[in-house]
Chain A
Amino acid sequence: MDGFRIPIGDWVAGAVAWVKDNLEGLLDFISFIVKFLVNGLTEVLLGTPIVVLIIIAALIAWAVRSLWMALGTAVSFALILSMGLWVGAMQTLSLVIVAALVAVVIAIPLGIWSARNATVRAVLKPILDFMQTMPAMVYLIPAIVFFSIGVVPGLVATVIFALPPGVRMTELGIRGVDSETVEAGHAFGATPGQILRGIQLPLAMPTIMAGVNQVIMLSLSMAVIAGMAGADGLGKLVVEAIATVNIGKGAEAGLAVVLLAVFLDRVTAALGTPGEFPSSLLGMVNRRRASQQASKADAAAEAARAVASPHRAPIGGGAV
């Protein structure tokens, strides 16, 4: 058995070398775009006065969820600031935002495609399994070979790692839309594109948003590992803390990651289910608008009900 060994590792290394040699232009282009986006966003975040940024974050939290969430956000961000981790947190935040955006932009079309095509689904499934179960740090090796140390390999690895739930949840959401409703679209002569935009995507939106939420959370967890590839941010601080066995520094950086994670998770989860948070700013605005319309409509509706079904007792409140 000594002589028998399938050299998969060599093959992969060969393939990586080939890509490195022959697709340099493409790799440089990707590298340029990623650096531009991440560094640009980091500069914007760091360029904004810290107080303004905290207020904006709190307002976002209030808009989608509640006043309590806004308060919690302000306290969390203040805590990060007080630990002296503001710059690292903003670097990580911009890495996460860009990585999640890229992953979502790739994942949703792939999910739609695989929902409508059984062959695509069959091909994608093992690939997604592979992407999700391969230890995340392994991606860093070819990524570093391609893009050298820095934020780019970290982001590429993050995107690969965070992509699968986006694809899966999009596919699941679209295939889970009530088939009779889709049939109704067909029955009235809608084109496949009209059915996708007008029926499938809106109805699958809660599931797709749950997928986006997962993408963001995975991006955040991976962004820390990206610190090993030299990406600036909280991850790098954690890696440094491990290298120097610095318990205090590690705990602070870790806590900052958790606080960021909670903020991102709560905001994106609320975006997926807007109806569940009546005390949010958006919820209050919607309700005020709806109640104005309803008061106009109710009188007419009651009259209409009397005409439509005179034998039934009046229905309290109009709607049942």
Chain B
Amino acid sequence: MTETALEARHLFKVFGRNPSQAVRRLKAGESRTDTLDAGTAAVIDASFTVNRGEIFVIMGLSGSGKSTIIRMLNGLHDITDGSVVVGGDEIAGVPASRLREIRRENVSMVFQHFALLPHRTVAANVAYPLELKGVGKTERMAKADEVLAMVGLDGWGDKLPSELSGGMQQRVGIARALAADTDILLMDEAFSALDPLIRREMQEQLLELQQKLQKTIVFITHDLNEAMFLGDRIAVMRDGRIVQIGTPEDILTDPANDYVEQFVQDVDRARVLTASNVMERPRPVVADNAGPRTALRQMRDAYMSAAYVTGRDRKLLGMVTDRDAVKLVRKGETQLTSILKPVPQSVSEDEVLMNLFVPAVESQLPLAVVDAEGRLTGVIPRVTLLAALGTGPNSTEEITLPLPPVSHAEIAAVLGEAADAVAPSSTVVLGEAADAVAPDVATEEEVR
């Protein structure tokens, strides 16, 4: 999976009178505005690798150079300096005929405004790359129908592009790129021209297709939410430079600079962060061969009325409640299995926070997070879920729990004393009482 499909090394693109001089000065450390007299630098020293089968998103505002970069990857813009390697082939400086061959066989593209041929039918549009490859008519039309079915456009092949809605036209654009059957797909703001509902639908469909086809996709967008939703990894660009490359979680939780942080503020964290990003060490949890006393002790330490039970390999088996455990101890039994109950709610590690709220509300214990093998890898208390939605450096780390309430008996006793006393401020008394029990009430950090 970590095989490199595409690599860009120290890419420069300068438009203007004297590009090579501009590159030399940029390399010497001059800024973009300093070198304006020699040319406009659109891309400055960009390096990245794209792994086979991943969606690599390049994100930046307009004018940040992202569209220029993607056009250098298939040679639509020639490279001022640096190198691009596609599937082992260098793109910079190859003759035009070789470049066309690479475009036909290795790299296809989806455009922001669809760029369909308006005088050809949908099917003929999809078959266009095959036509350029020299595939026979019946074969390429069969392939076009097959790909159209894949993107959900069965039976639209005879229409003209102008008869389709925007979303459908872009499906044709995607179908055309898929028909070319290249390993690498370049998508230049492919969904930016669509309205939000359709955009969401298309993003989901793209991920579905990607699961089936495992293409290498370079996706350009100015929308960070889109980048976060689609990207396995994201490169953030600003003024021609790549300022950070990382997974969506990296970018969200550890922005490289103020610029990225500002960007990240607008992100819908609930749709990006996953359970594994916010979960805490599983607690309370007991092994299935431990006795009810251990379970009770765990529950008491964690201030919970139940505990998770795991088997060998930390596999989640179920949970036990404190009432059942107390009964078990009284009966003198030592096997927890007899009182084991199924866990009502557990979520997988890669579930986004958006989908955790309802389970978290319904779950008696902190929400259990399990991995693909069913092992309990962590839990998410409700407060943690809430805190994760806020921005701030610590919001996804473990947090201290608020102090637990003082026991009923104690409050009753204190209230009794207060009634006897000559009207002391009850808040002060309560404060003192809380202080008095504080030594028992350790914060979560300490328990850990």
Interface residues of A (CB under 8 A from B): 178, 180-181, 183-184, 186-191, 194, 198-199, 202-203, 293-294, 297-301, 303-305, 307-309, 311, 315, 319-320
Counting CB contacts under 8 A, is B437 at the interface?
no
Residues of A within 8 A of B326 (CB): none
Ranked 7 nearest A-B pairs via Cβ: A300-B155, A308-B152, A189-B104, A304-B154, A189-B103, A184-B115, A187-B109
Residues of A within 8 A of B128 (CB): 188, 198
Q: How many residues of B contact A (CB 8 A)?
A: 43
Task: Give B127-153 as 1s and 0s: 1 = Cβ < 8 Å from A's Cβ atoms.
Answer: 011001100000000000000010111
Task: Give B155-168 as 1s and 0s: 1 = Cβ < 8 Å from A's Cβ atoms.
Answer: 11111000111010
- Residue of A180, A188, A194, A304 touching B112 (CB-CB under 8 A): A180
Interface residues of B (CB under 8 A from A): 74, 76, 100-105, 107-109, 111-113, 115-119, 128-129, 132-133, 149, 151-159, 163-165, 167, 171, 176, 180, 186, 201, 205
- Residue of B111, B113, B119, B155 touching A304 (CB-CB under 8 A): B155
- A181 and B152 alpha carbons, distance in the complex (Å): 23
Residues of B within 8 A of A300 (CB): 154-155
Given contacts A180-B113, A203-B118, contact A189 B132 (CB under 8 A): yes
Given contacts A188-B132, A189-B101, contact A319 B155 (CB under 8 A): no
Mostly, the A contact residues are: helix
B112: nearest residue on chain A (CB-CB)? A180
Given contacts A188-B128, A202-B119, A319-B164, contact A297 B111 (CB under 8 A): no
A319: nearest residue on chain B (CB-CB)? B163
Given contacts A301-B155, A304-B154, contact A198 B115 (CB under 8 A): no
Since A183-B111, A304-B153, A304-B155 are in contact, a sample of 5 more A-B pairs with Cβ atoms closer than 8 Å, ordered by chain A residue number, is: A186-B76, A194-B132, A301-B154, A307-B152, A307-B154
Nearest Cβ on chain A to B120's Cβ, whole angstroms:
8
- A319 and B165 alpha carbons, distance in the complex (Å): 8
Q: Are A183 and B154 in contact (CB under 8 A)?
A: no
Residues of A within 8 A of B108 (CB): 187-188
Residues of A within 8 A of B101 (CB): 189
Residues of A within 8 A of B112 (CB): 180
Residues of B within 8 A of A304 (CB): 149, 152-156
Q: Are A188 and B111 in contact (CB under 8 A)?
A: no
Residues of B within 8 A of A307 (CB): 152, 154
- A301 and B74 alpha carbons, distance in the complex (Å): 34
Nearest Cβ on chain B to A294's Cβ, whole angstroms:
7
Nearest Cβ on chain A to B321's Cβ, whole angstroms:
41
- A8 and B154 alpha carbons, distance in the complex (Å): 71
Q: Are A188 and B103 in contact (CB under 8 A)?
A: yes
- A171 and B108 alpha carbons, distance in the complex (Å): 29
Residues of B within 8 A of A184 (CB): 109, 111, 115-117
Q: Are A294 and B118 in contact (CB under 8 A)?
A: no
- A54 and B143 alpha carbons, distance in the complex (Å): 49
- A124 and B243 alpha carbons, distance in the complex (Å): 48
Q: Are A319 and B152 in contact (CB under 8 A)?
A: no
Given contacts A307-B152, A319-B163, A319-B164, contact A183 B158 (CB under 8 A): no
Residues of B within 8 A of A178 (CB): 113, 115
- Residue of A180, A189, A301, A320 touching B165 (CB-CB under 8 A): A320
Nearest Cβ on chain A to B123's Cβ, whole angstroms:
10
- Residue of A187, A294, A298 touching B76 (CB-CB under 8 A): A187
- Residue of B100, B115, B201, B205 touching A191 (CB-CB under 8 A): B100
Residues of B within 8 A of A202 (CB): 117, 119
Nearest Cβ on chain A to B104's Cβ, whole angstroms:
3
- Residue of B119, B155, B164 touching A297 (CB-CB under 8 A): B155
A178: nearest residue on chain B (CB-CB)? B115
Q: Are B157 and A297 in contact (CB under 8 A)?
A: yes
Residues of B within 8 A of A298 (CB): 155
11 contacts between A and B (CB under 8 A): A180-B115, A181-B116, A184-B111, A188-B108, A189-B100, A294-B159, A297-B157, A300-B154, A303-B155, A304-B149, A309-B152
Centre residue among A190, A194, A293, A294 by max chain B CB count within 10 A: A190
- A293 and B156 alpha carbons, distance in the complex (Å): 10
Nearest Cβ on chain B to A74's Cβ, whole angstroms:
33
Q: Are A293 and B158 in contact (CB under 8 A)?
A: yes
Q: Are B76 and A190 in contact (CB under 8 A)?
A: no
- A127 and B153 alpha carbons, distance in the complex (Å): 51
Nearest Cβ on chain A to B332's Cβ, whole angstroms:
58
- A122 and B100 alpha carbons, distance in the complex (Å): 30
Residues of B within 8 A of A183 (CB): 76, 111, 115
Centre residue among B128, B157, B167 by max chain A CB count within 10 A: B128
- A304 and B128 alpha carbons, distance in the complex (Å): 22
- A301 and B159 alpha carbons, distance in the complex (Å): 10
Centre residue among B115, B149, B180 by max chain A CB count within 10 A: B115
- A199 and B102 alpha carbons, distance in the complex (Å): 21
Nearest Cβ on chain B to A184's Cβ, whole angstroms:
4
Residues of B within 8 A of A186 (CB): 76, 103
Residues of A within 8 A of B155 (CB): 297-301, 303-304
Q: Are A181 and B117 in contact (CB under 8 A)?
A: yes
B165: nearest residue on chain A (CB-CB)? A320
- A319 and B172 alpha carbons, distance in the complex (Å): 14
Nearest Cβ on chain B to A207's Cβ, whole angstroms:
14
Nearest Cβ on chain A to B268's Cβ, whole angstroms:
20
- Residue of A188, A294, A303 touching B180 (CB-CB under 8 A): A188
Given contacts A187-B108, A190-B132, A304-B153, contact A199 B158 (CB under 8 A): no
- A311 and B117 alpha carbons, distance in the complex (Å): 29
- A189 and B186 alpha carbons, distance in the complex (Å): 14
Q: Are A187 and B103 in contact (CB under 8 A)?
A: yes
Residues of A within 8 A of B133 (CB): 189
- Residue of B118, B129, B151, B164 touching A188 (CB-CB under 8 A): B129
Residues of B within 8 A of A303 (CB): 154-155
